[in-house]
Structure formats: C-alpha cells, structure tokens
C-alpha cells in the first residue's frame, strides 16, 4: 500500500465523512446516498447556503458547515465535481422556502453540475448561483475560455454571505453581496512541492531544491511559471502586489486577508507569512483589518501557500465579525 | 533560499510568534526578551500552568495558551529546549500566588532546564513539575536512561489540568491529577515521510515508497523500525493495540483519543484514521468516549500520525468537557 493514511483510494471521501461525523456529531450530519453533509440542527426560515466541489481541499467545504456559514456541502471524488443529483438532494434536504444560494468555484465540472442542479431545482425552489473566480494566476481574457479558477476567496464568500443569511437577508440581496465579495477579492499562490494523490507514490510534478512553482492552483497542476525560491518577505510581496493591483487597493485602504496553507505547510510558516503580510501592507500604507491563517483550502498535501485579499468595506467587516461556529472556523 | 516560507532559519521562532500575536491579539501576548507567550488577559487567583519546549511542534505549546488551558508557553529554538531563564521569567509574569504547574515533555534538555527553573523559582514561588512520557516507542527500562519521550499526551495533560486550575483546585491536587493523566495514557506514531528542517533541502531520513517508519518521535529521528505501509485500518490497529495493552484498557472501558497529524498529514487522512479508530475500538468492545483530530503536536512537516489514548474516568471526562478557548483548541 501507498504512503497515506487511506484504505482504498475510491473510499477516501466516504470514510473521511464518517470520521468527520464522529468528530463533530453536534455540528455535522452526513447523508450517504447521495453523498452530502448538512448541519445537524438545520436552520429554519432563512436562505440556505450550499457549496461543494471536488474533495482533496479539506477542510473545504464540509468543515465550513455550521451556524453562520454553510447549511450543506456536497463533495465529489478527489478533484472531481459532485453530480447535479447530489447537489439537488442537498438543497432539498435543507431548503426552508426562503431560497438557496449555491456558492461555486469556477471550474468546468462544478459550473456545469451546479447549473444543472439549479435548473432542476428551478421549478421547485428559488435558487441563485455565486461563481467564485479569484485566482489571479489564471485569466479571464480568453473569450470562451473557462475563466479564472476559484480558490480561497470562497471562504470569504461563505463567511460573509453566511452571516447575512443568519440576519435573514433575502436571497437576491445575499447573491448580490456574494458577487461584491468576489469582485473585491483575489488570490495568488506558490508551492515548494506538489501534491501526491492517494494511490500514487510521486507528486503530480517535480520541483528541484531552490525552485518554487508560482501561480499554483489547487489540483496539482503546474502554475504560471517556475521561479527561484525567495525568503518569506519577498514571497509575500510577490504574491500580494499583483493582488493589490487587481483588486484596486490603495494607500489608506484596508483588507481582510486569508493566509492559506495548501496542505503540508507548517503553522510556523503560516505565522511567518502573516507577520510579513502585515509588514508589507504597513509599508504600503494599507491596513490589515482582519486576518486568518490556516490550511483552509488545500490541494491534498501540497507544500505552499496562497494569499487572498478582500478590500474592506464597513459592511464586509461587520459581517466577517459575526459569530461563526463550524468545525474549521469559529469565533 | 530554501523550500519553506521562512526568512533566516534563526529568526523562525521569533517571527512566527509575531505572526501569532497578529492573528490572536485578544488571546496571546508575546514577550520578546526573554521569549515567552502569555494570555493577553492574565488569570487571577488560580494555579498557573506553564509549558514549553523546542519549536517545530506548533501549534504546541503557544496556541494552547488561553482560558481553560495554559497560562504561558516558553518556546526554544527549533527542536531545542528553552532556557531556565526564559521559563523563570514566564512563570514570574503570570504567577498569582497560588503556585505554578510546569508541564514538561520528557527530553533531556527540557527536563534539565525546567528543573533548574523550578529550583530558581523555589524560594519565591510554589512550583510542581508534571513530566509527560507517553511515547511507547521508547522505553523506561534502561536504568539511568532518558526514559520515554513526551509527545501528544501533553495535550490531554494541559487540557485536563487547565480545567482543574480554572476550578481553583490547589497546586498539589492539579499536579497529582496531571500525573494520573500521564499514567493512564500512551502514544504511538508512524510516518511516511520525515521532516525537512528550515534551511535544509532534504528530509532528516529517507523512506522508499511502500515503507513507513514505525514508532516515530517528533524530532525527525528514525523510529523503532521500518515497516511496509499498510491500509489505514491496519495502521490504526498497529498503533492502537500496544497502547491498549500498555494503558490497561479492557473490554467495557472507554477512552479519550487524540488523532494527531505530525505536520503534513491531510485532513482527509486524519478523518479516515478517526473512523478506523472508532471501528477498531468498537470491535474490541471499547468506547470512544471523546476524540479530537488535528495537527496538534507536529514534527515540522513530517507526514504521518500518532494516536494517543487516555483511559477514561468520570473525572477526566468532566474536566475534558470543560470550556476551553485557545487558538488551537476551543469548545
């Protein structure tokens, strides 16, 4: 057998959900067929938030199910979209008559399956989709191309829209809010070692000592370019500068930041990146209004990090600060 | 530069503490010279708990500082003990007149430095030491040897004694409680890939695909033996069986379990291990009374896991369940 704590690769997702339910019985309930996760105590009389996508990005999305964030999460296999049938079943399990917001990371399979699910649900339920496409390493420029990938900004969308839903905002208002979060945020990542899928014994690509892959995604694909490794201070600058440009953050503004480990990144490294981010932003006259660091949106055991910056507004900060109780995020 | 998010290796610990304080200003305050971390709002009129040891094991110990757990943590350099001077300063910064419990993992350097600190403090403060030596891969049998290593059972000691301290137990009672937790718990770990220290570009030892190191410690040293990798179910059995024997857990008993990632272990893997542990214990007629899973006591970016089992008592369960609010553990 292979070098991971797994049994058969094809059982990874189901067994992990069994484990999660053992770990958090008061928060998460796991539905076997079709596969999805809901809050143990389902919410009433609010818009419900449902997200999902391929597995391998844990704690995303199942561990963000809970009060103040998602109502349900729908996992596919590792790096593969869930089916429209799963998504529809999850929405039907939690929807309360106020409508459902589907939060989707922009990948061809997810977009297709969530759209079909929305269509299937359309006659029975009020549904809106917020498409998250924050990864600056990819481009929106190709006419007809897949567009930018969705990565860690999805956490900000889930948190902020989740808070609005608890405050009984209407579906159209929450969808509009989610689109404003997407428009005001961007992400860029880099990695020192790619990920090894369960059942494999080699990373998805090789990097030599002294090399890092810049503009990395979360599926083990090559990034935008291979660069020489640099000290943390310089790495944080390389990642943050293009984001500030893209999002239009200027001197005097503030940001909400997500310092995200890609799977095998140590807490020491994420803490150091946080200190460097504060220092970098301070030098640019930009306030670090809020920051979280952790492995939130992973690419299996990839060793690297991404930085997501969301341009602060009073509304975003107020909703960000609202109470949240999920296995992976709580305050 | 090297393949980690670091600047100079010698600045890793200080910079990471700066980051932690940015992340958790309401919980953690970091003292620069000498280096230690305390609660931002220090407790009054209770026994204080102080732990520490080499860095590289994060979130241990700094992120277990907070209400219901530690009052202060004292980090050394990566895999090196803090000095007696640091430890004394940390105790003096938080001690309230009710005494201080020093929770020490059993390594030669830590034992020496905490003992010297206790001696230095002895005339000014009431001090007790609880020595944690839970790692079954090492032995207590060598007369005059260093004895068994301290690993993830330290989390149980800090949590349970922390709860007792909040309930205003006396120092001698809490020290006695801590020793009972140590006596009732044991740990065993295995790894698929060793750790790479900041500044290095190779793991501390090499394993071939299909090999795992069994009976691993948390400092990148070789384990007890190299074994073939096995499916998760078998791995959990290999780790758990010797623990049950050592701790004297029998059919009808229950345990508190810590499923611990050693640094680069994915959430999917820890969830699967949790599911397998419940199934393994169930087959043996043993209750999984409480379980947490996460990367709590790491060995830098080692890819592997340890399992810690503590034989449940009503007293342990009651204290385990008490409210805790730290960056790394909260309920």
Compute the mean pLDDT over every residue in chain A, rounded to the nearest whole number: 95
User: Which domain CATH number covers A98?
Assistant: 3.40.50.10440
What confidence score (pLDDT) does residue A140 get? 67
Q: Are residues A197 and A179 in the same domain?
A: no
- The span from the CA of A130 to the CA of A128, in Å, is 7
Residue B330 lies in a domain: no
CB-based contact B15 A273, cutoff 8 Å? no
Position A119 pLDDT exceeds 70: yes
Question: What is the Cα A21 distance to its own chain's centre?
Answer: 21
Residue B219 lies in a domain: yes
Nearest to B4 among A15, A192, A276 (CB): A192
φ, ψ of residue A274 in degrees (nearest 5) = -65, -45
CB-based contact B19 A298, cutoff 8 Å? no
Residue B245 lies in a domain: yes
Give the CA count within 13 Å in the CB-facing half-sphere of A186: 20
Q: List CB contacts (< 8 A) between A73 and chain B.
A: none
- Please report, for chain A, how many H helices and E strands are present, in that order: 8, 12
Nearest CA-CA distance, residue B28 and chain A, Å: 13
Q: Are residues B173 and B192 in the same domain?
A: no
Is residue B266 classed as helix, strand or coil in its secondary structure? coil
Q: Are residues B105 and B253 in the same domain?
A: no
**Residue A130 · residue A79 · CB < 8 Å:** no
Q: Are residues B20 and B156 in the same domain?
A: yes
φ, ψ of residue B69 in degrees (nearest 5) = -140, -120
Mean pLDDT for A300-326 is: 97
Find, among B264, B18, B19, B197, the residue nearest to A271 by Cα.
Answer: B19
Q: List CB contacts (< 8 A) between B65 and chain A.
A: none
Confidence label for A2 from pLDDT (cuts 50, 70 and 90): low
Compute the mean pLDDT over every residue in chain B, rounded to the nearest whole number: 95
CB-based contact A12 B229, cutoff 8 Å? no
Q: Are residues A87 and A225 in the same domain?
A: no
Nearest to B266 among A63, A201, A301 (CB): A301
Range of the domain at B68: 10-183
- The span from the CA of B44 to the CA of B51, in Å, is 18
Position A1 pLDDT exceeds 50: no
Q: Distance from first CA to last CA of chain B, Å, rounded?
A: 40
Residue B329 lies in a domain: no
What confidence score (pLDDT) does residue A147 get? 87
What confidence score (pLDDT) does residue A148 get? 93
What confidence score (pLDDT) does residue B1 get? 44
- The span from the CA of A121 to the CA of A100, in Å, is 10
Residue B324 lies in a domain: no
Domain count, chain A: 2
Residue that the structure tokens 């290796």 belong to:
B9
- The span from the CA of B32 to the CA of B321, in Å, is 34
φ, ψ of residue A153 in degrees (nearest 5) = -65, -15
Nearest CA-CA distance, residue A263 and chain B, Å: 6
CB-based contact A271 B58, cutoff 8 Å? yes
A7, closest residue in chain B (CA to CA): B231
Q: List CB contacts (< 8 A) between A232 and chain B.
A: 5-7, 15
Residue ranges of chain B with pLDDT lower than 50? 1
Nearest to B268 among A55, A201, A228 (CB): A55
**Residue A48 · residue A69 · CB < 8 Å:** no
CB-based contact A209 B301, cutoff 8 Å? no
CB-based contact A231 B1, cutoff 8 Å? yes
CB-based contact A210 B2, cutoff 8 Å? yes
User: Which domain CATH number covers A249?
Assistant: 3.30.1180.20
Confidence label for A231 from pLDDT (cuts 50, 70 and 90): very high
Q: Which two tokens stand for residue B150?
A: 């301290």
Residue B321 lies in a domain: no
What confidence score (pLDDT) does residue B143 get? 66
Q: Are residues A17 and A118 in the same domain?
A: yes
A331, closest residue in chain B (CA to CA): B330
Residue A142 region, left (φ>0) first, then alpha (ψ -120 to 50), else beta?
beta
What confidence score (pLDDT) does residue B140 get? 67
Q: Are residues A55 and A125 in the same domain?
A: yes
Residue B174 lies in a domain: yes
- The span from the CA of B234 to the CA of B279, in Å, is 11
Find, among A175, A170, A180, A132, the residue nearest to A47 by Cα.
Answer: A170
Q: Which two tokens stand for residue A69?
A: 């964030």
Question: What is the Cα B229 distance to its own chain's centre?
Answer: 25
Q: Are residues A163 and A208 in the same domain?
A: no
Question: What is the Cα B326 distance to its own chain's centre?
Answer: 14
**Residue A3 · residue B192 · CB < 8 Å:** yes
Domain boundary among A124, A158, A183: A183
What confidence score (pLDDT) does residue B36 get? 98
**Residue B6 · residue B12 · CB < 8 Å:** yes
Domain boundary among B183, B199, B219: B183
Q: Are residues B141 and B232 in the same domain?
A: no
Q: Are residues B87 and B220 in the same domain?
A: no
Is residue A310 classed as helix, strand or coil in its secondary structure? strand
Catalytic center residues of B: 57, 219
Nearest CA-CA distance, residue A235 and chain B, Å: 8
Those residues whose C-beta lies under 8 Å from the C-beta of residue A11, and which sit 6 or more positions away, are none
Q: Are residues A175 and A119 in the same domain?
A: yes
**Residue B77 · residue B52 · CB < 8 Å:** no
CB-based contact B19 A275, cutoff 8 Å? yes
Residue A82 has what DSSP assignment? P
CB pairs under 8 A between A and B: 199
pLDDT tens digits along A79-111: 999 999 999 999 999 999 999 999 999 999 999
Confidence label for A145 from pLDDT (cuts 50, 70 and 90): confident
Q: Where are the beta strands (DSSP E) in A156-229?
A: 185-193, 211-214, 225-228
Nearest CA-CA distance, residue A149 and chain B, Å: 22
Mutant choice from B60, B76, B203, B266 vs A, greatest count of A C-beta within 10 A: B266
What confidence score (pLDDT) does residue A200 get? 82
Q: Are residues B16 and B148 in the same domain?
A: yes
Residue A329 lies in a domain: no
């Amino acid at each position: 057998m292979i070098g991971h704590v797994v049994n058969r690769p094809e059982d990874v997702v189901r067994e992990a959900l069994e484990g999660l339910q053992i770990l958090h019985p008061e928060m998460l309930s796991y539905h076997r067929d079709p596969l999805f996760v809901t809050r143990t105590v389902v919410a009433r009389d609010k818009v419900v938030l449902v997200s999902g996508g391929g597995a391998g990005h844990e704690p995303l999305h199942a561990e963000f199910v809970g009060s103040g964030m998602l109502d349900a999460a729908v996992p596919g296999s590792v790096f593969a979209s869930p089916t429209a049938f799963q998504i529809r079943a999850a929405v039907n399990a939690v929807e309360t008559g106020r409508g459902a917001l589907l939060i989707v990371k922009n990948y061809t399979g997810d977009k297709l399956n969530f759209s079909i699910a929305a269509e299937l649900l359309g006659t029975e339920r009020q549904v809106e989709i917020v498409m998250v496409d924050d990864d600056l390493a990819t481009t929106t420029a190709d006419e007809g191309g897949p567009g930018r990938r969705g990565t860690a900004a999805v956490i900000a969308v889930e948190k902020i829209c989740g808070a609005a839903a608890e405050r009984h905002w209407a579906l159209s208002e929450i969808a509009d809010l989610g689109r404003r979060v997407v428009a005001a945020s961007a992400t860029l990542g880099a990695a020192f070692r790619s990920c090894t899928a369960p059942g494999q014994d080699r990373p998805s690509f090789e990097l030599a000592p002294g090399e890092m892959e810049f503009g990395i995604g979360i599926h083990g694909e090559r990034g935008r370019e291979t660069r020489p490794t640099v000290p943390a201070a310089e790495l944080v600058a390389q990642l943050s500068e293009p984001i500030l440009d893209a999002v239009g953050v200027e001197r005097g503004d503030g940001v909400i930041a997500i310092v995200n480990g890609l799977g095998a990144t140590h807490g020491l490294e994420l803490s150091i990146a946080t200190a460097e981010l504060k220092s970098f932003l301070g030098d640019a006259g930009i306030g670090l209004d809020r920051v979280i660091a952790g492995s939130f949106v992973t690419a299996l055991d990839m060793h690297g990090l991404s930085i997501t910056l969301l341009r602060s507004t009073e509304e975003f900060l107020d909703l960000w600060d609202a109470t949240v109780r999920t296995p992976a995020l709580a305050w």
